[in-house]
Amino acid sequence: MIFRFLSRLKRYIEISNYERLGFFVLFFIVLLISAYYYFKHSHLTALDSPTDSEMIAFINRNQSFFEEESMTNVPTNVDDKTEANVQLFNPNTDSYELMIQKGLSNHIAKNILNYRKKGGVFRIKSDLKKIYTINDYYYNQIKNSIDLPLRKNKTRQKSGYVITPKSFHIAINSCHSNDLIQLKGIGPVLAERILKFRDKLGGFYNFNQLYEVYGLPKETTDSIKRYIQIDSSYIQPTIAINSSGVKELASHPYVSYKEAKMIVNFREQHGFFKTKEDLTQLKIIDKIFIQRIMPYINLN
């Protein structure tokens, strides 16, 4: 009985030649795959582990990056007297492009503009440290390039408003924005509008021209007129009636397109204007208009 059992068991587990061949083929394939992955892993590990010389070369190539990164961690209490390569700039009036041209970084110029858009005003040099990207170290480098006073004038300050003494006057045709923002009611935006209108005109020849500044309240104009001085020697002849075309003439605030076309047509028919008074020959042009533009006429 036992013999019969062993005989059946032998027949059950007996492997034929084909089965034995298949087993060896399968074993060989598994061996090849294992060898492939082993050598591939060994090769990548060798490539991913740089030698000492490769590591030194990498550090040398990126040395400038490490130096720049270390400079950002300079302590804010460093009193460095060296100046950065920044030209004189006004953080209240200079445009983004102008600040970039003068040497400020894109990031700092953008933060200054954002501060101004929120209504912020830089009164003194150290106010720039309100910009979180400007620490004490960088401020000490650029403070001589900031077009602002170093300290507040306590005799002119009261409750956050500027107190203007009676003896104080501003030459409107030669002043800068820093001068105008000392006047009560004039901030950086209005100061820039006044200067922009002045430059388009060629200068102010009358106090009442201030009422024509866009956005300048009448009450503010009334209060500052007594501190304004008209320096007519700075007026520029911005209307070249003998050489400008219609479009160029009409770019002046006082000259409309219709009036510019009349001037050009008269010039083409009668020749150049020899004197300013020749404009009176244009009967169809209002005399008030001629009086307004008379200080700005350029006969060249």
Residues 249 and 293 in one domain: yes
Q: Are residue 163 and residue 191 in the same domain, yes or no?
A: yes
Q: What percent of the chain has pLDDT above 90?
A: 29
Ramachandran angles phi, psi of 178, nearest 5°: -60, -35
Q: State which of 186, 207, 234 marks the end of a domain.
A: 234
Confidence label for 9 from pLDDT (cuts 50, 70 and 90): low
Are 25 and 38 found together in one domain? yes
- Looking at the fold, whether 100 and 136 belong to one and the same domain comes out as yes
Q: Is residue 289 part of a domain?
A: yes
Can you read off the two tokens belonging to residue 280? 């009176």
Task: Flag whether 133 is in a domain.
Answer: yes
Domain-located, residue 10: yes
Take residue 174 and report the two structure tokens written for it. 């030669």
pLDDT at res. 60: 58
**pLDDT tens for residues 39-71?**
766 554 444 455 555 555 555 555 544 444 444
Output the pLDDT for position 149: 85
How many domains would you assign to the chain?
4
Summarize pLDDT for 168-217 with one digit per residue, the tens. 788 999 898 888 998 888 999 999 999 999 999 999 999 999 999 999 99
Please check whether residues 121 and 143 belong to one and the same domain.
yes
Q: Do 145 and 92 sit in the same domain of this protein?
A: yes
* Residue ranges making up the domain that contains 107: 75-152
- CB-based burial of residue 230 (10 Å sphere; 0-12 exposed, 13-18 middle, 19+ buried)? middle
- Position 65 in a domain: no
**What pLDDT score was predicted for residue 239?**
94
Average pLDDT, the chain: 79
> Does residue 64 lie in a domain region?
no
Query: Are residue 246 and residue 219 in the same domain, yes or no?
Result: no
The values of phi and psi at residue 146, to 5°, are -90, 120
pLDDT in tens, 244-291: 999 999 999 999 999 999 999 999 998 999 998 888 888 778 888 889
Specify burial of residue 291 (Cβ count, 10 A radius: 0-12, 13-18, 19+).
Answer: exposed
Same domain, 40 and 112: no
Q: Do residues 137 and 162 share a domain?
A: no
Asked if residue 281 is part of any domain, the answer here is yes
Whole-angstrom distance, CA of residue 189 vs CA of residue 199: 15
pTM of the model: 0.48
Domain assignment present for residue 266? The answer is: yes
